Chain A
């Protein structure tokens, strides 16, 4: 933290709880806030899944019999629904990240709110398609 930041701080202390939850304080009138909060939430969800995915994949080390017996459970309905939601989180997170990158390079800076709307729309569409492919095909 350099001296300019220390001056900006000007004695305003922010506690650990607020530092951990500041991004959840709603600003419904600013779509960018929702984009940021959902980006984080979906990020955490996907990270959580990846850890679980790693644990599951470690069963491969137990050989074919161990692994193949798992397929039935992971192919069951609740898991498929879970997978669809997961794809929703991933697509949203990816497109929301793309939005930030576009804005950083000056693309769509006049419509940052609308860009978020587009991200929601496209990710919902993709998720619906994936859901159809997973659940009904």
Chain B
């Protein structure tokens, strides 16, 4: 287990293997400054984990929402009954969350290829993150409004 501490400290805390100093012959190449800004490994890991979760939750979603439902589509009442069950509510919410995380990171990768300037990229990344959070907020609101509709 001890080696797993290292990626945790590397990506989340103070990395233990900060380069002691300057790379001779390569101007201005001290890695400490760059180290803090670059957590791409963590982004990749989150994208992979969210991808894995997606396979599970999307599978459940397809089965619960389409396969088991006669005709494949739920009418309004059926949607409400389904979402009333706490387990269904949780899995649908986690599905939305992992989709948004996964899509956000992937979109940022696209952006990183198009945008050359590091500053602009940071801005674009923040915008993408906000969009994802906003979308998640909207789905929560929509779910509440659907559930409260019948009350």
Please list the residues of chain A having a beta carbon within 8 angstroms of any beta carbon in chain B.
1-4, 7, 16, 19-20, 22, 43, 47, 50, 54, 57-58, 60-61, 63-64, 67-68, 71, 74-75, 80, 83, 87, 90, 94, 97-98, 101, 104, 133-134
B28 at the interface (CB under 8 A from A): yes
Residues of A within 8 A of B12 (CB): none
CA of A20 to CA of B48 in the docked complex: distance in angstroms? Answer: 23
Q: What are 16 sample pairs from A and B whose C-beta atoms fall under 8 A apart?
A: A2-B29, A2-B34, A3-B23, A3-B26, A7-B26, A54-B138, A57-B142, A60-B142, A63-B149, A64-B75, A64-B76, A71-B75, A75-B72, A94-B54, A98-B55, A101-B52
Residues of A within 8 A of B16 (CB): none
Residues of B within 8 A of A90 (CB): 58
Residues of A within 8 A of B64 (CB): none
From residue 32 to 55 of chain B, which have CB atoms closer than 8 A to chain A?
34, 48, 51-52, 54-55
Number of interface residues of B (CB under 8 A): 37
B79 at the interface (CB under 8 A from A): yes
CA of A82 to CA of B145 in the docked complex: distance in angstroms? Answer: 29
Chain A residue at minimal CB-CB distance from B59: A94
B8 at the interface (CB under 8 A from A): no
Residues of B within 8 A of A97 (CB): 48, 51
CA of A98 to CA of B27 in the docked complex: distance in angstroms? Answer: 40
Residues of A within 8 A of B26 (CB): 3-4, 7
**B47: shortest Cβ distance to chain A, in Å?**
8
